[in-house]
Amino acid sequence: MSTTASSFVCSPVASASSGCLLPPSKHGAAPTMAKLQGRRLSCRAAATAGSGGDDSVVRRNIDRRDVLFGLTGFAAVTTTNLGLALAADADAGAAAEPLCATVPITAEVLKCNAEGGFHCPAEYDATKVVDFSSLPLPSGPPRVRRPAHKLDDEYIKKFEEAVRRMKELDDEDPRSFKNQSGIHEAYCDAHYRVVSAASPEVNFDVHYSSIFAPWHRMYIYFFERILGDLIGDPTFGLPYWNWDSPEGMIMPSIFANESSPLYDELRTPEHVRAFMDLNLGPAKQPNLPEPECTDDILCLIDNNLYSMYRQMTVDTPEEFHGGKFCTAGKKYTGSLENGAHTAAHIWVGKDMGNLRTAARDPVFYSNHSNVDRMWHLRSTKLGMPDLPYQEWLDTSFVFYDETKRPVRIRVQDVLDTSKLGYRFEEKKKLEWMQKRPKPSSEIKRPFIAQRSVTPASAFPVPLKKGQNEYVTVERPEKAQAGGGSSKKAPEVLVLDLTVDPCEYVKFDVLVNVPRGQEDKVGPKNSEFAGSFTHVPHGGGDGGRMMETQEVSYRLKLREIIEDLKCGRDKRLDFTIVPVAGEKTLVNSVRIDIL
C-alpha cells in the first residue's frame, strides 16, 4: 500500500479499525481543535503559498461575488463574536467562508495519475480535440429519455442490447463500458490532479461543488450517444430512474433481471425489490425521526415527496448546485447532489454505494439521468436561474463521442437540454411540488428556546450515533428586524464539517424541537430542516481519496422560519441527529443570509 503526502489508501482494514479520517501517521489520537485549526489554512493563504508567494494571480481569480459572500459571512460571525461567540473563532469563521482562490477548470489543468497501476481513461491526442460549440446543433427528432419503470419490451431490448455491445468492446476502446465507467472513477477518486501555476497542486473531484451537475450531464450525454450509436438508433434516450414519483420509488425491474447486461450482483439484496427511503432512515435506535414509517409505504412515499420538495425548492442556485471548486480543498455541496441522488447511491449499495465503483453498475446512469432531469425541471418548470459567474460557465472537460473523437465541452454548452438534442418524457403531475412540509401538531408547545448561544469552545462537535447534539445559533440582525428573510436574500443554516471520505455519513437537522420530542418530527414537518449525506469515495482495493473532506452544507431556513412563525426571534435551536458515520466533526454552525 503506497501513500503519498496528499493522498492515501482507504483499505478495508483501515476503515474497520483505525478508520481513515486522518492520514495514517495521525491515526490514534482524536483530532484536537489546535490540530484542526493548524490544517485549516484560509483558502487564500494556502493558494498564495502554493503559487510561490505572488498572490496577484490568486486575487484575480477571486471573483467579486465570492468576496461579497466572504464579507457577509465574516460580518455575521463577527457580530456574533462580539456578543455571544458562536463560530469556533474568528479565524475559523474566515476559513469557513468560500473566500476561495480558484483556478478555472479545463482539460489543460487536469492530469490523470496512473499511480498504483490505475488505468486512466483513454488518453486523447490534444491536437485532435474539437470544440463542441463549433459542431452543428443536432437536427432530427430529439432523443427521448423515458421513465425506466415504464419502458415497453422493445425499448428494454434496445437498452440491453446497447449496454451488451458496450461491454463487449475492446478494453482499449474509449467507448467500452470499462473505460466509460473508469471515467467516473478517475474523476471522483482523486486520480485527477489540478496542475496549474495559479494554484497548489490538489486532487480534483467532480463531486461536492457546482461542477457536479454539469459534469454528470456531459458524462451521461456522451454515454447516451455512444449507446445509441452502438445500436444504430440516433434517437435512443437514456431511461431515467423516476425516484421522485411514487411509482418510481423502487429500483426499476429492468436492472434486477439476472440475465440482463443491466444487472449488477454487487447490490444490497434486501433493497433490490423494496420501496425506497429517500431519507435513508430511521436507523434502528431511539430518538430518530419517523419510527412509525418503517413498514408503512404510504408514509414512506409521503416522506420521500416532502424531502424532494425541500431539495428542489431551495431559493438560490448556490444552495442547489453548491460552491466553486476551491483549490484550497474546502468543498461546498448543493441539494441536488446531497439529497435523493445520494440516497439512491446508498440505497442500491455495494458498487453504487461507493463513488469509486458506482459507475460499474448500469443503474448508475439511470440514477444520473434522473438527477439531470431534476436540474432540467428546476430550470424549466420552477424557472430558477443557474449560477451567474463566468468561471463556472467556462469550465470545460474533454469526452470521447461515439466516433471516438475527443470533444471539448463547456458548462455553458450544456445549460439547455434542447440544444443537446434530448428531452424527458413527463407525466402531467409532479407530486412533490405540492409537498411543502407543515409544522408538527404533535409537539407539545410552547417551545421553550434555550436562549443561550452555543459557545465557541463547544466546537468541533464529534457526531456519534445515538447521541443528539443541541446547538443554539444567533440569527443575523437584519433578518430579525425584518421579521424574516426574503426569497432574494434567504436565511440558510451553514454547517462546516469534516467528513471521512471512506465512510457513509448521514445526520438530520431539526429546528426548534424541544429535547426529548425529536421522534415527533419527520420529513413532513417544517421542523425537519433536512439531512446531510455523504457517499463514501475511497475504500477497498486501490481506492484513493483525499485525507479528509472539509465540506460546507447549507440548509434552507427561510420557509421554516415562516412556517414556525419565528421571524422575530433572535436565535434558533437546532438538534443534530446522527444516523450514520462515526468520524464526522461539526466545526461550526451559523446562519447566513445569501
- Residues 6+ away with beta carbon under 8 Å from 199: 47, 50, 51, 58, 101, 102, 103, 327
| Number of H-type helices and E-type strands within the chain | 18, 19
Nearer to ligand C2O, 353 or 460 (CB): 353
CA distances from 503 to 191, 352, 494, 506, 542 (A): 19, 14, 22, 10, 16
Name the 3-class secondary structure at 477: helix
Nearest in space to 417 (alpha carbons), one of 144, 211, 130: 144
Nearest in space to 403 (alpha carbons), one of 175, 171, 232: 175
Q: Cβ distance 109 to 103 under 8 Å? A: yes
Nearest in space to 22 (alpha carbons), one of 501, 432, 347: 501
Q: Does 331 bind ligand C2O (CB under 6 A)?
A: no
Residue bearing cell 432512515: 281
Using only C-alpha atoms, the chain has a radius of gyration, in whole angstroms, of 23
Q: Does 345 bind ligand C2O (CB under 6 A)?
A: yes
Name the 3-class secondary structure at 573: strand
Taking 3-state DSSP, the helix, strand and coil percentages for the chain, each rounded to the nearest 5, stand at 35, 15, 45
Nearer to ligand C2O, 73 or 353 (CB): 353
CA atoms within 13 A on the CB side of 295: 0
Nearer to ligand C2O, 207 or 373 (CB): 207
Closest contact distance (angstroms) between CB of 361 and ligand C2O is: 11
Contact mark string toward ligand C2O, 130..169, x via CB under 6 A: ----------------------------------------
Largest CA distance in the chain: 69
Closest contact distance (angstroms) between CB of 345 and ligand C2O is: 6
406 φ, ψ to 5°?
-75, 130
Nearest in space to 407 (alpha carbons), one of 210, 222, 173: 222
Nearer to ligand C2O, 207 or 534 (CB): 207
Which class for 250: exposed (0-12), middle (13-18), buried (19 or more C-beta within 10 A)? middle
Cα separation of 198 and 54, whole Å? 9
Closest contact distance (angstroms) between CB of 189 and ligand C2O is: 10
Closest contact distance (angstroms) between CB of 403 and ligand C2O is: 25
Which residue number places its CB atom closest to ligand C2O? Answer: 188
- The residue from 271, 324, 341, 378 that contacts ligand C2O (CB under 6 A) is 341
Residues 348-377 that bind ligand C2O (CB under 6 A): 355, 358, 368
Nearer to ligand C2O, 216 or 571 (CB): 216
- Residues 6+ away with beta carbon under 8 Å from 238: 143, 145, 220, 223, 224, 227, 365, 366, 369
Residues 441-470 that bind ligand C2O (CB under 6 A): none
Closest contact distance (angstroms) between CB of 430 and ligand C2O is: 22
DSSP secondary structure of 247-281: GGSS--GGGT-TTSTT--S-S-GGGTTSPP-TT--
Nearer to ligand C2O, 338 or 526 (CB): 338
Cα separation of 450 and 471, whole Å? 9
The cell numbers describing 350, all together, are 455495494
Closest contact distance (angstroms) between CB of 261 and ligand C2O is: 20
Total residues binding ligand C2O (CB under 6 A)? 9
Contact mark string toward ligand C2O, 481..500, x via CB under 6 A: --------------------
- The residue from 41, 103, 188, 328 that contacts ligand C2O (CB under 6 A) is 188
| Adjacency order of strands within the sheet including 505-511 | 469-474, 571-580, 505-511, 528-534
Closest contact distance (angstroms) between CB of 528 and ligand C2O is: 24
Closest contact distance (angstroms) between CB of 241 and ligand C2O is: 11
The cell numbers describing 182, all together, are 473508469
- The residue from 143, 165, 207, 330 that contacts ligand C2O (CB under 6 A) is 207
Closest contact distance (angstroms) between CB of 139 and ligand C2O is: 31
CB-CB neighbours of 381 under 10 Å: 12
- The residue from 145, 184, 330, 544 that contacts ligand C2O (CB under 6 A) is 184
Nearer to ligand C2O, 86 or 188 (CB): 188
Nearer to ligand C2O, 345 or 583 (CB): 345
Closest contact distance (angstroms) between CB of 466 and ligand C2O is: 29
Q: Is 287 left (phi over 0), alpha (psi -120 to 50) or beta?
A: left
Nearer to ligand C2O, 358 or 494 (CB): 358
Nearer to ligand C2O, 196 or 209 (CB): 209
Nearer to ligand C2O, 165 or 207 (CB): 207
Closest contact distance (angstroms) between CB of 533 and ligand C2O is: 12
Q: Does 9 bind ligand C2O (CB under 6 A)?
A: no
Nearer to ligand C2O, 149 or 356 (CB): 356
Residues 214-243 that bind ligand C2O (CB under 6 A): 216
Nearer to ligand C2O, 193 or 465 (CB): 193
Closest contact distance (angstroms) between CB of 15 and ligand C2O is: 20
Closest contact distance (angstroms) between CB of 341 and ligand C2O is: 6
Interface residues toward ligand C2O, by CB under 6 A: 184, 188, 207, 216, 341, 345, 355, 358, 368
